[in-house]
């Protein structure tokens, strides 16, 4: 049984690690967002910016080291860092637009809207990281 699990992990290591660290990144993002909105009473969009910056910094580190196992330093590391943050800016704009439209303008529950937007963002972030940021050359 353990051999089967280990074999499946080896086969799907990248997806499993992306899922695991994606959950951790999402928890970081959501926790910071809730603290910013509920404790510090910041606006939804400002709270989302703060949560995004902290979560993306965490995500870059774990994606580089443990998901895509990129040893890129120097020019390659700068390219990865730049393209990672650029891709995340794109998905952040999408997420912020969804929150702005559905929570602030239409009055839906911001936590539910944020959760739904996060699912879309996770999928897009994996595709962008796999295809653009950490692609093997």
Alpha carbon distances (Å) from 113 to 85, 97, 109? 23, 11, 6
Q: What is the pLDDT of residue 137?
A: 62
Q: Which two tokens stand for residue 61?
A: 């580190």
Distance from C-alpha of 116 to C-alpha of 81, rounded to nearest angstrom: 27
- Calculate mean pLDDT across residues 65-73: 86
Cβ contacts of 88 within 8 Å, gap of 6 or more: 52, 56, 59, 125
Report the candidate in 126, 128, 119 with the shortest Cα–Cα distance to residue 29: 119
Give the total number of structural domains in the chain. 1
Query: Residue 96 sits in which domain range?
Result: 2-133
pLDDT digits (tens, 9 = 90+) for 19-60: 999 889 989 999 999 999 999 999 998 998 899 899 999 999
| Contact (CB, 8 A) for 80 and 134 | yes
Tens-digit pLDDT profile for residues 90-137: 998 999 899 999 999 999 999 999 899 988 988 999 999 999 998 876
């Amino acid at each position: 049984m353990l051999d089967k699990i280990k074999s499946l992990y080896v086969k799907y290591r990248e997806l499993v690690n992306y899922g695991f660290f994606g959950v951790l990144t999402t928890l970081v993002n959501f926790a910071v967002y809730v603290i910013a909105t509920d404790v510090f009473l910041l606006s939804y969009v400002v709270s989302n910016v703060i949560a995004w910056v902290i979560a993306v910094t965490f995500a870059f580190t774990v994606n580089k080291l443990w998901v895509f196992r990129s040893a890129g330093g120097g020019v390659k590391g700068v390219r990865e860092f730049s393209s990672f943050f650029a891709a995340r800016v794109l998905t952040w704009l999408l997420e912020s637009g969804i929150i702005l439209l559905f929570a602030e303008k239409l009055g839906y529950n911001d936590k539910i809207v944020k959760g739904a937007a996060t699912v879309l963002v996770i999928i897009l972030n994996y595709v962008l990281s796999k295809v653009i940021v950490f692609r093997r050359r």
